[in-house]
Amino acid sequence: MNTALELHKLGVKFFTGDTTGVGLLEFIPVFHRWIQTRVLDDLLIDVADYSHVYAGPGILLVAHEGNYSMDETGNRRGLAYYSKHPLAGDLEERLTTVCRKALRACQLLLQETEFKDRLMFRGEALQVFANDRLVAPNTEETWRAFEPVLRALLARLYPGADYELTRETDPKERFSVTIKVENPATIDALLECLS
């Protein structure tokens, strides 16, 4: 059996649209408020500022189950969530869980008054990645195991839509696939597709 099917440490990143008016540090007080008000199902622990790291993890909201971040990896800002502990279900169910958590955080950010009319998420662009190089190395074998699972998730998220998959092929980089969908979708609509 391919070890990639045993992957639990996986993540999803939904890219933002033009956010030139939103400074990365503006997410810090919002994430702290989320900890205080317990708006997410995860046990939220702390906020870490990596804004000084070029094209790095940005502002991290540390949770017990996984981490959320306003991530700038690859010079593309987006909300990322990745799991840190075993999740229930098969790989498709685990990927759906991670995707749902990321979408819920995007939805909450869009509801914050600080970001009204300044923050948007490009529902037609996302990235899925593995955070465990031992279980899911960046190889063709991992891709062959992961592709049908990813396509099943995309069929739920974007029913009937055309999309383009771009896999990171550098074996020194973690396994990741960027998805560009023909028709944009709102965060609310994407969450509804996974309910």
For residue 121, give both structure tokens.
Answer: 């998420």
Specify the pTM.
Answer: 0.94
The count of residues in the chain is 195
Per-residue pLDDT tens over the stretch 161-195: 999 999 999 999 999 999 999 888 999 999 999 98
- Mean pLDDT, the chain, integer: 93
User: 66 and 86 in contact (C-beta within 8 Å)?
Assistant: no
Average the pLDDT over 131-148 and give the result.
92
Domain ranges for the chain: 3-194
Amino acid 115: pLDDT: 92
Least confident of 34-38, 75-79, 91-95, 131-135: 131-135
For the chain, give the percent of residues with pLDDT over 70.
97
Kindly state the average pLDDT of the residues 2-16.
Answer: 86
Q: Report the C-alpha gap between 106 and 100 in whole angstroms.
A: 10
pLDDT band at 117 (very low <50, low <70, confident <90, very high): confident
Tokens 């622990």, residue located: 45
**pLDDT exceeds 70 at position 44:** yes
For residue 19, is pLDDT > 70? no
pLDDT of residue 17: 84
Three-state secondary-structure class, residue 184: coil
Per the structure block, which two tokens stand in for 56? 């790095």
Distances, alpha carbon 126 to alpha carbons 65, 177, 181, in Å: 21, 9, 9
